[in-house]
Structure 1
Amino acid sequence: MKISVFVDGANVFYMQKDELKWWINFEKLLRWIENRTGGEIIDAYYYVGEENPPDTRQQGFLTALADIGYSIITKELKIIVLDDGREIRKANLDIEIVLDMFNTIENYDMAILVSGDGDFERPLRLLRARGKRFMVMSTKRFIARELREVSGMHFVDFEDIRGEVQKET
């Protein structure tokens, strides 16, 4: 079975920081996926917003991911100024993830989505209708209800596999 992995970088960053309170080792994650599914990862994509100029710490992380085998897809962060003057940085790569899922659909048998974003509910339903298998990886406290409902038994909670994918500190 051929597998493609799609990681929603911003969603996963905040899941780790705000909910899990521990960090994922993304190399261990790929090995865990192969062991769990019995398949072969043919592509792994990591989607993330990027500062301009790039943040050196983030750039080091992205270089390490590329060395592991992830294809890095970036989009420049936009700065949105709220009415009260506060700034929010946002890149929203959901459409890029969905486009890549469907533009590469002939290359894989199973898609692994690492995200808790409810916007992916409809694309996963469409993948299922096209005969593709999928798995969603997030955590129970961070996954949107719609995404949790569509994933059913194909949901993996990072809390359940912490010992196998946690980054050593």
Structure 2
Amino acid sequence: MTVSQPGQRVAVLADAQNLYHTARSLYSRNIDYEALLEEAVDGRELTRAIAYVIRADSPEEESFFEALVDIGFETRIKDIKTFQDGSKKADWDVGMSLDAVSLANHVDTVVLCTGDGDFARVCRYLRHEGCRVEAMGFEESSSEDLKAAVDGFIDMSDDSDRFLL
């Protein structure tokens, strides 16, 4: 449950990879980022909205990145890394965490759109520093550590038709 007050300044940080893979595996659908941003802001004052995305050279991704910008997100784009053994890696955990810490002094609330438990520690830090922290994710795949570390958790599965295309 969120405690939103109209004057609160909000930063919304969306872990696009985490949301994409969860929505695809649970529902075979894509995220509605416009609905996500609207719910995260919840009538408050949006200071920054950043979507963290991975470039994997798929044909539709550039139009997806442009759509995020049209909705109101800044995009942080990282290329996927392929190692000699063929394995691939790309995640934004450190970049997202650094942005959350950097923004904390300029906002009242940070909303992390992810279910990734790796963010629990940064959530506890932000709360200790006096920042309200909320998370949005799908209950079925969201870390218990993350949910315990935030002031409010919005389960996107509760209204999947709103949050999915």
- For normalisation by structure 1, the TM-score amounts to 0.85
109-118 or 141-150: bigger deviation? 141-150
For 1:66, which of 69, 74, 83 is the aligned residue?
69
Matched residue, 2:82: 79
* RMSD (CA atoms): 1.7
For 2:158, which of 146, 150, 160 is the aligned residue?
160
Distance 2:127 2:153 in 1: 14
Deviation at 1:133, TM superposition (A): 0.5
Distance 2:39 2:100 in 1: 21
Code of the residue aligned with 1:162 in structure 2: it is S
Establish whether residue 6 from structure 1 lines up as the match of residue 13 from structure 2: yes
SS, match of residue 46 in structure 1 = strand
Equivalences, count: 158
The answer to whether the 8 Å contact 1:49/1:74 transfers is: yes
Establish whether residue 21 from structure 1 lines up as the match of residue 28 from structure 2: yes
Distance 1:20 1:156 in 2: 17
Matched residue, 2:133: 134
Establish whether residue 56 from structure 1 lines up as the match of residue 55 from structure 2: no
- Structure 1 runs not aligned, ≥5 long: none
Percent identity among equivalent residues? Answer: 27
Matched residue, 1:43: 48
Distance 2:152 2:48 in 1: 19
Deviation at 1:5, TM superposition (A): 0.5
Q: Note closer, same or farther for the CA distance 1:81–1:146 as it changes in structure 2 (3 Å cut).
A: farther
Q: Note closer, same or farther for the CA distance 1:14–1:122 as it changes in structure 2 (3 Å cut).
A: same
Code of the residue aligned with 1:159 in structure 2: it is S
- For normalisation by structure 2, the TM-score amounts to 0.87
